Amino acid sequence: MYRKLLFVMVLCNAAGFNIQISPVKHFTNEDPLFGQTIIQAKDGIFVPSPTYGRLFKCTLDNECTKVNINDENPKGMRPVASVASLTSQEQHVVMCNQVRTENRGTEYLNGICTLVSPSGKVKLYPAELDNNKNNNNNNNNNNNKYQGGRINQGPGTEIAFVLDGSGSIQDDDFQKAKDFIYNVMSNVWKTCFDCNFAIVQYGSLIRTELSLLDNEDRVGSLLKVKQIKQIYNLTKTASAINHVLTDIFIPENGSKDNSAKIIIVLSDGKILGDPMTLDEVLNKPQMKGVTRYSIGVGDGILKNLDATEEMMQIADPGKYYNVSSYRALNDIVSSLERGIIGTKDPGTEIAFVLDGSGSIQDDDFQKAKDFIYNVMSNVWKTCFDCNFAIVQYGSLIRTELLLLDNEDRAGSLLKVKQIKQIYNLTKTASAINHVLTDIFIPEKGSKNNTAKIIIVLSDGEILEDPMTLDEVLNKPQMKGVTRYSIGVGDGILKKPNAVKEMMQIADPGKYYSVSSYGALNDILSSLEREIIGTEGDSVTTTVLQIN
């Protein structure tokens, strides 16, 4: 009887329970993060706007209105807001804004909060309260640590883009240059909260497009980048760099004496009609301690020796980039961002395994060396942390270039030209194994956390090798290897056993074949992108088969 009564009571309660799923009202805001957090109010809801650091109260009658927490966010606040309610008979709401970090790339969970209640507004300092708690001290000895509600910040980093807006740049290319700057700024700001940007455009005149002071409104700063109008005409590069020293990196315009300072010059050609010289500007006292990058774009730089020399003079050693087009700027975004933020890429190690067996004709062996030379020299234009090694094999296995040799890049390229062919056997498996045992080891300059790539150039079928591919490819050191193979010419395409070996070396879908040596140029840029785009803690094996 008792069980029946309980069952009836449950059914009655279930029948009387109702959830309304139809929306009553929609609230919208320009902030894309608006609505991620809501707090119930007595007559509506409180909704923070994280992007802009504001708080809104939304009701069915009055839509969403801004709650007057502060007149403005204190200078130095990162535009992130959160809200919480306190249990009370009266309505209490706490609104917090995030403090920007003191160190680049990290963020302390400190903030400035305001408690809103019927009796008024009270400032709260979570970091101070936390310190007091940890020290078991209820007094306010640390009050002097906060000036106007702001934690003392580090000096930060100031980055000034010097943008070529001369007449030689097409409209769509100028747009790509702006997109590049936009992407660098937005990406850097994801991890570096004390990085501030400025932009100076130059052509027939010099114009500040974005000042350091504008960075308080980061959304507005990015909008200003999009709105930049090209100046056209002359190329006053030196004067534009000087403008950074005299009008950007000065206290009146938001610069700090002890901040790190970076100048990035983006241009497609040599100086034209400039009353100042690079020597004059680069030797100014204000340039002391400033880190300089330069990015040369297109044939106006790459095929003009004077223009190349100018760009290399502008940049500090190892900080000159050149790209073939404005579209190719995307290839250097991540590298430049790392330079700004201060994180170092562990690098990439690339080992070429060069077939020097007797089946390779002398002129073909020369073309194989030329291919290696071109890959190395092209990759080094944008990948400063890429190091190469070369192993040749025939009747013996010989290291032609060590990772340690890369300290002298010109000397490394010379060593490629001086390689002498070994001839005779085709010990492909043993040569790949040599890379694992004699190249990718700490004693020879290899680092544990680097990306590692093996590129094998071979004419195909293994001959008199004491090791097998199964033996080498299944070694523990090869774990995580991504393997490619590329066969060249009819000597590969018409040899089933050679094709089978190449496909065994390659991962599924990563076996390529090209019809001739001339076609190697068709895969050059693709291979370079693979090298530059490889991330740490992996090994990529590319087999280039030549016949």
DSSP-derived secondary structure for 502-528: HHHHSPTT-EEEESSGGGHHHHHHHHH
Give the tens place of pLDDT for each residue, 201-229: 999 999 999 999 999 999 999 999 999 99
Task: Say how many Å lie between the first and final Cα of the chain, rounded.
Answer: 92
Identify the three-state secondary structure at position 497: helix
What DSSP string describes 122-175?
EEE-HHHHHHHHHTT--S-TTGGGEETTEEPPP--EEEEEEEE--TTS-HHHHH
Gap between the Cα atoms of 401 and 432, Å rounded: 15
- Asked if 245 and 263 count as a contact pair (C-beta separation under 8 A), the reply is no
Identify the three-state secondary structure at position 495: coil
The pair of three-digit structure tokens given for residue 182, joined into one six-digit string: 């936009």
- In tens digits, the chain (547 residues) has pLDDT values of 545 444 444 444 444 444 445 555 666 777 766 777 777 777 788 888 776 777 888 887 777 888 876 644 544 444 445 555 555 456 667 777 664 443 433 344 455 677 776 666 666 655 555 444 444 444 444 443 333 333 334 579 999 999 999 999 999 999 999 999 999 999 999 888 899 999 999 999 999 999 999 999 999 999 999 999 999 999 999 999 999 999 999 999 999 988 999 999 999 989 999 999 999 999 999 999 999 999 999 988 988 999 999 999 999 988 999 898 999 998 888 888 888 887 556 788 999 999 898 888 888 889 889 989 999 999 898 888 899 999 999 999 999 999 999 989 999 999 999 999 999 998 999 999 999 999 988 889 988 778 888 888 888 788 999 999 999 999 989 886 777 777 777 777 788 898 888 888 877 877 777 777 678 788 888 888 877 765 444 455 444 444 4
Task: Indicate the Cα dihedral angle 199, 203, 206, 212, nearest 10°.
Answer: 0
What DSSP string describes 433-460?
HHIIIIISSGGGT--TTSEEEEEEEE-S
CATH fold label, 157-341: Rossmann fold (3.40.50)
Question: Which residue is it, tokens 């090791």?
Answer: 467
Q: Which helix (H) or strand (E) holds 35?
A: none
CB atoms within 10 A of CB 279: 9
Gap between the Cα atoms of 83 and 95, Å rounded: 5
Residue 76, Ramachandran bin (φ over 0: left; ψ between -120 and 50: alpha; else beta): left
Gap between the Cα atoms of 420 and 359, Å rounded: 15
Identify the three-state secondary structure at position 207: strand
Gap between the Cα atoms of 331 and 529, Å rounded: 8
Please write down the long-range contacts of 127-136, taking CB distance under 8 Å and 24 or more positions apart: 127/99, 127/151
What Cα–Cα distance (Å) separates residue 352 from each residue in 193, 473, 501?
41, 16, 18
Gap between the Cα atoms of 457 and 472, Å rounded: 17
Q: If we measure between CA atoms, which residue out of 165, 190, 195 comes closest to residue 177?
A: 165
Gap between the Cα atoms of 165 and 227, Å rounded: 14
pTM: 0.48
The full set of domain ranges for the chain reads: 39-126, 157-341, 348-532
| The CATH number of domain 348-532, selected from 3.30.450.20, 3.40.50.410, 3.40.190.10, 3.30.200.20 | 3.40.50.410
Domains 157-341 and 348-532 in one fold? yes
